[in-house]
């Protein structure tokens, strides 16, 4: 790579000629503040916080969109620059709802931190705040434009990363605001509830619908039996809510905290990840050998499923009919577990802790009621779980590790990796391959499907059968892949699609991280490493070898794909269109 010589604050550096000033400064360990910039998502120079001076230039320039060149001399912290940044922050505050104490992002707000750093006067510029309306129509996402700073990071996440674009800048000038076309409520658009707009937002303008009080109320009701299961990726990210470095595994402390909250049962969703794989692998082998609809496409990501229903309805027949691990757990709990323990399903409140805001939508879907009532009652995000633990006064870091409760405590390594892109595919291949070959695999690692690339492709030989697979994460990548399949340019037998880039470890319900972290740390890789490490250390690495899953088939479900299994664990889809 060709380099250029530049000076930053009087010191000489060599940097790639393809760098922006912002990137060059970071290579020199110099932090330039930003609000609108988000690496690989948004670079528009709108917030004017990243201003720098360049010798010979006319005035200040925005470092996030200005490229370096040979001999450039840059100054990042002159008195004029510091004053300009302070004024820009005060201008942002002039039309900002400053009720910070009651804001969901208080102490984790990027605007709040910068205002602190620069010693702003929050009332330096006075004006009438633009009248706004809070949009609470969605079952998952709330938009509060009184907090919006028009950075457009949410717009870029929705349009550029996910390829959906249901939000954008409406009106112009002082009346500019973020909204949907024709001021439609978010619930009336083809929003898929993925929540990538939330994790992109630097302030409290976007957040998930908080269901924690509903959980607290259920826990306080002596007539209710309240159980919870936690998704694989939550144990890889929950620690971030309590100051741990990204990539820290906190499963034992998480379980200990949940038991202190008072749940009657604390369970491992890896168990139903394994159950999903057994059913899905059976479905795939059936379609592959009996001429069924191919490619089979995974169905455990509710954001992807809703996207398919809206944008590619012709592919809904390709979706696996398996419910997601979340829904399977609630279904098993309110049928098999309730019967075995003499519980009335109506007295059970089943909760899931998940990395996904779209799961809040999923619990409302039709045909998710194996016991005649919703399989899952409440879905809370990783962030909500963190807030519950804080509110209950539990000292998370001081907790000793504890184990999940029986009989649903066991999960295989295949279940562990569900939270990373390619993980569902690898888990399915481990089981499907042994089903087709009729013998144990010599090696269970399918490394071609690993990694955080947006689209991955591989071909595997299973005896006489060649299986072509593809993996997409992020809906813009899904669109590219499905378009090529629709046009007949690519052909596959099995496809995994995750709505969120990188999979659940980067879900819309995961802990928010400031741009200073998101721009410099590979969160997807660090979080995914937790799951793959757990898989490699697990004694059981194939879903069909999970003894709890075997027990469930022996005592209740009979066999994979049985009538009982279909009644309990499978569902159907809607061709929504736009």
Q: Could you report the per-residue pLDDT of 73-132, keeping only the tens digit for each?
A: 999 999 999 999 999 999 999 999 999 999 999 999 999 999 999 999 988 988 777 788
Domain check: are 163 and 272 in the same one?
Answer: no
Domain check: are 383 and 470 in the same one?
Answer: yes
Asked if residues 73 and 55 have their Cβ atoms less than 8 Å apart, the reply is yes
CATH number at residue 43: 3.10.20.740
Domain that holds residue 196: 126-208
- Residue where a domain terminates, one of 161, 181, 208: 208
Q: What is the pLDDT of residue 66?
A: 97
Pick from 299, 328, 335: nearest CA to 316: 299
Domain check: are 418 and 515 in the same one?
Answer: yes
Domain check: are 252 and 345 in the same one?
Answer: yes
On whether residue 354 sits in a domain, the answer given is: yes
- Residue where a domain terminates, one of 180, 208, 236: 208
On whether residue 226 sits in a domain, the answer given is: yes
On whether residue 91 sits in a domain, the answer given is: no
CATH number at residue 197: 3.30.70.20
Domain check: are 288 and 400 in the same one?
Answer: yes
Per-residue pLDDT of the chain (578 residues; tens, 9 = 90+): 699 999 999 999 999 999 999 999 999 999 999 999 999 999 999 999 999 999 998 889 999 999 999 999 999 999 999 999 999 999 999 999 999 999 999 999 999 999 999 999 988 988 777 788 899 999 999 999 999 999 999 999 999 999 999 999 999 988 899 999 999 999 999 999 999 999 999 999 999 999 999 999 999 999 999 999 999 999 999 999 999 999 999 999 999 999 999 999 999 999 999 999 999 999 999 999 998 999 999 999 999 999 999 999 999 999 999 999 999 999 999 999 999 999 999 999 999 999 999 999 999 999 999 999 999 999 999 999 999 999 999 999 999 999 999 999 999 999 999 999 999 999 999 999 999 999 999 899 999 999 999 999 999 998 889 999 999 999 999 999 999 999 999 999 999 999 999 999 999 999 999 999 999 999 999 999 999 999 999 999 999 999 999 999 999 999 999 999 999 999 999 999 77
Q: How many CB atoms sit inside 10 A of residue 97's CB?
A: 18
Domain check: are 551 and 525 in the same one?
Answer: yes
**Three-state SS at 94:** coil
Domain check: are 471 and 545 in the same one?
Answer: yes
On whether residue 98 sits in a domain, the answer given is: no
Q: Round to whole Å and give the CA distance between 68 and 192.
A: 39
Domain check: are 198 and 220 in the same one?
Answer: no
Domain check: are 522 and 393 in the same one?
Answer: yes
- Residue where a domain terminates, one of 59, 77, 95: 77
**Three-state SS at 181:** helix
Number of compact structural domains in the chain: 3
The answer for 92, left when phi > 0, alpha when psi is -120 to 50, beta otherwise, is alpha
On whether residue 93 sits in a domain, the answer given is: no
Q: What is the pLDDT of residue 34?
A: 97
On whether residue 99 sits in a domain, the answer given is: no
Q: What is the pLDDT of residue 113?
A: 97
CATH number at residue 286: 3.40.50.1780
On whether residue 85 sits in a domain, the answer given is: no
End-to-end, the C-alpha distance of the chain in Å comes to: 45
Domain check: are 162 and 251 in the same one?
Answer: no
Asked if residues 394 and 242 have their Cβ atoms less than 8 Å apart, the reply is no
Do you find a cis peptide bond into 327, omega within 30 degrees of 0? no
DSSP string, 103-153: -TTTTT-HHHHHHHHHT--TTSS--PPPP---B--SSSEEE-TTS-----H
Domain check: are 180 and 258 in the same one?
Answer: no
Pick from 538, 289, 546, 227: nearest CA to 413: 538
On whether residue 316 sits in a domain, the answer given is: yes
Domain check: are 328 and 199 in the same one?
Answer: no
């Amino acid at each position: 790579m060709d380099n250029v010589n530049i000076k930053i604050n009087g010191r000489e550096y060599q940097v790639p000629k393809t760098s922006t000033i912002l990137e060059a400064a970071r290579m020199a360990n110099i932090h330039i503040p930003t609000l609108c910039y988000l690496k690989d998502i948004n670079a528009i120079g709108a917030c004017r916080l990243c201003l720098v001076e360049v010798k010979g230039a006319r005035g200040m320039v925005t470092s996030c969109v200005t490229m370096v060149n040979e001999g450039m001399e840059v100054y990042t912290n002159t008195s004029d620059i510091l004053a300009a940044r302070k004024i820009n922050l005060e201008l942002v505050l002039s039309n900002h709802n400053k009720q910070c104490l009651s804001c969901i992002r208080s102490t984790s707000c990027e605007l709040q931190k910068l205002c602190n750093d620069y010693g702003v006067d929050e009332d330096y510029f006075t004006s009438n705040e633009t009248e706004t309306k809070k949009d609470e129509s969605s079952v998952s996402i709330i938009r509060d434009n009184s907090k919006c700073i028009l950075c457009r990071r949410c717009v870029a996440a929705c349009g550029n990363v996910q390829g959906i674009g249901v939000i954008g800048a409406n009106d112009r000038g002082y009346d500019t605001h973020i909204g949907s076309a024709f001021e439609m409520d978010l619930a009336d658009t083809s929003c898929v509830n993925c929540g990538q707009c939330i994790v992109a937002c630097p302030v409290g303008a976007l957040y998930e619908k908080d269901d924690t009080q509903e959980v607290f109320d259920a826990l306080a009701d002596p007539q209710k039996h309240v159980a919870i299961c936690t998704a694989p990726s939550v144990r890889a990210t929950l620690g971030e809510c309590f100051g741990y470095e990204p990539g820290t595994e906190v499963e034992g402390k998480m379980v200990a905290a949940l038991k202190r909250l008072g749940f009657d049962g604390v369970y491992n969703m890896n168990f139903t990840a394994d159950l999903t794989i057994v059913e899905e692998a059976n479905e795939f082998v059936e379609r592959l050998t009996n001429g069924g609809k191919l490619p089979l496409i995974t169905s455990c990501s509710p954001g992807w499923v809703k996207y398919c229903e809206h944008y590619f309805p012709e592919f809904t027949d390709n979706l696996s009919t398996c419910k997601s691990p979340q829904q399977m757990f609630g279904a098993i709990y309110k049928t098999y577990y309730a019967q075995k323990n003499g519980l009335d399903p109506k007295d059970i409140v089943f909760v899931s802790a998940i990395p996904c805001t779209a799961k809040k939508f999923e619990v409302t879907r039709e045909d998710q009621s194996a016991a005649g009532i919703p399989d899952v009652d409440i879905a809370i995000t990783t962030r909500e779980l963190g807030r519950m633990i804080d509110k209950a006064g539990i000292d998370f870091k001081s907790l000793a590790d504890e184990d999940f409760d029986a009989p649903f405590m066991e999960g295989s390594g295949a279940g562990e990796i569900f939270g990373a892109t390619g993980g569902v595919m690898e888990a399915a291949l481990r089981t499907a391959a042994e089903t087709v070959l009729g013998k144990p695999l010599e090696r269970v690692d399918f490394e071609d499907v690993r990694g955080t690339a947006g689209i991955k492709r591989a071909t595997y030989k299973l005896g006489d059968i060649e299986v072509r697979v593809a993996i997409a994460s992020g809906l813009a990548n899904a669109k590219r892949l499905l378009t090529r399949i629709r046009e007949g340019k690519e052909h596959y037998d099995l496809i995994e699609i995750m709505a969120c880039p990188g999979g659940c470890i980067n879900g819309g319900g995961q802990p928010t991280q400031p741009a200073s972290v998101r721009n410099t740390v590979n969160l997807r890789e660090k979080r995914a490493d937790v799951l793959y490490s757990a898989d490699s250390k697990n004694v059981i690495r194939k879903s069909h070898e999970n003894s709890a899953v075997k027990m469930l088939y022996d005592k209740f479900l009979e066999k994979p794909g049985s009538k009982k299994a279909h009644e309990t664990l499978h569902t159907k889809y809607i061709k929504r269109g736009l």
